């Protein structure tokens, strides 16, 4: 490599090949942030002046992205919100991802779409996420089992974030069932650690609403995987407890997502500016508990 580094003919052609985790860690460092902004555009909540926009979800997302890209470690568009408007929504989701890739290529995109099917079908879901949209990571279900997710797991450079313990009310219905005396979500975590993660590209969704459970999963997993943590803010998760429970021994390993509380902090024309303040507040509060402010 050094021969190329020292040769001016080649130096401009050098690229760094980063996988999702490299890109995430670099963004964590650059922006000193574990905060993630979730892009959940919703016509019922969008600032009124955007409702006549030709591409309201893209215009809204672009303003939020521009206002927060130096404060986050990732953006997380939620596919459902775009799908609700059908083909035009999907087109705007693509525009939004393209905008991030072109203007903030250092910030990873996590497509939150929680897909899960048999392997042949999953190979089509990977085309949507990785080839069409070009995102860096996705969320997936565990229920179909590892073999079904081979088309995802084979994408070594992409992050595959498996649902483990969710933050919604009633998530315990199956997730806390006891399998040989251990809760199902812990069995999911163990399986992902021991069997799914051969390409070192697996991570977990672990909600913020019960910090003791986050601690339990972190203890089980060790430092290796990153936990995508929904549920701070609107769903009532406690930030300090979340950080203390979920950080790995290097003071990272968490992606703390906030959507509604940032996106809709103001419903007026100043929405992006107010969203920036909310994102800044979240980042700094996280860092206070990380001891890095």
Q: Active-site residue numbers? A: 114
- If binding is defined by CB under 8 A, does position 144 make contact with a second copy? yes
In the range 155-194, which residues lie near a second copy by CB under 8 A? 163, 166-175, 177-180, 184, 187-188, 191
Q: How far is the CB of 122 from a second copy (least distance, A)?
A: 7
* Residues in contact with a second copy, shown as a per-residue x/- string from 100 to 139 under the rule CB under 8 A: --------------xxxxxx-xx-xx-xx--xxx------
- If binding is defined by CB under 8 A, does position 90 make contact with a second copy? yes
Q: How far is the CB of 97 from a second copy (least distance, A)?
A: 11
Q: How far is the CB of 92 from a second copy (least distance, A)?
A: 9
| Residue 282 and residue 258 in contact, taking contact as beta carbons nearer than 8 Å | yes
Q: With CB under 8 A as the rule, give the number of residues binding a second copy.
A: 58
Residue written as token pair 């690229």: 15
User: Among residues 165 and 283, whose Cβ is nearest to a second copy?
Assistant: 165
- If binding is defined by CB under 8 A, does position 142 make contact with a second copy? yes
Tokens (6 digits) for 46: 């969008």
Residue written as token pair 């996988």: 19
Q: How far is the CB of 251 from a second copy (least distance, A)?
A: 28
> Which residue in 86, 102, 212, 219 binds a second copy (CB under 8 A)?
86
User: Among residues 33 and 167, whose Cβ is nearest to a second copy?
Assistant: 167
Please tell me the distance from the alpha carbon of residue 192 to that of residue 161, in angstroms, as a whole number.
Answer: 10
Residue 196: exposure state from Cβ atoms within 10 A (0-12, 13-18, ≥19): buried
Q: Is the dihedral of CA 60, 227, 21, 28 positive or negative?
A: positive
**Which residues contact a second copy by CB under 8 A?**
40, 42, 78, 80-81, 83-88, 90-91, 94, 114-119, 121-122, 124-125, 127-128, 131-133, 141-148, 163, 166-175, 177-180, 184, 187-188, 191, 230, 235
């Amino acid at each position: 490599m050094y021969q190329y580094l020292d040769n001016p003919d080649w130096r401009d052609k050098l690229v760094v090949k980063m996988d999702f985790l490299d890109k995430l860690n670099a963004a964590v460092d650059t922006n000193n942030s574990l905060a993630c902004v979730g892009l959940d555009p919703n016509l019922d909540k969008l600032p009124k002046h955007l409702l006549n926009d030709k591409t309201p979800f893209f215009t809204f997302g672009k303003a939020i992205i521009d206002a927060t890209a130096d404060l986050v470690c990732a953006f997380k568009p939620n596919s459902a919100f775009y799908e609700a408007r059908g083909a035009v929504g999907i087109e705007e989701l693509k525009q939004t991802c393209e905008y991030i890739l072109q203007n903030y290529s250092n910030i990873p995109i996590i497509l939150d779409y929680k897909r899960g099917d048999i392997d042949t079908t999953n190979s089509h879901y990977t085309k949507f996420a990785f080839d069409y949209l070009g995102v860096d990571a996705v969320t997936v279900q565990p229920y179909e089992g590892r073999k079904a997710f081979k088309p995802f797991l084979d994408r070594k450079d992409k992050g595959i974030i498996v649902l483990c313990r969710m933050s919604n009310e009633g998530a315990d219905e199956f997730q806390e069932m006891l399998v040989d005396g251990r809760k199902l979500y812990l069995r999911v975590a163990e399986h992902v650690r021991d069997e799914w993660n051969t390409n070192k590209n697996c991570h977990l969704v672990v909600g913020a609403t019960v910090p003791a459970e986050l601690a339990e999963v972190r203890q089980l997993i060790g430092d290796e995987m990153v936990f995508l943590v929904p549920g701070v803010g609107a769903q009532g998760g406690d930030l300090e407890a979340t950080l203390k429970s979920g950080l790995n021994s290097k003071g990272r390993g968490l992606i703390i997502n906030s959507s509604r509380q940032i996106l809709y902090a103001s419903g007026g024309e100043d929405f992006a500016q107010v969203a920036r303040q909310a994102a800044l507040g979240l980042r700094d509060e996280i860092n206070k508990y990380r001891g890095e402010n």
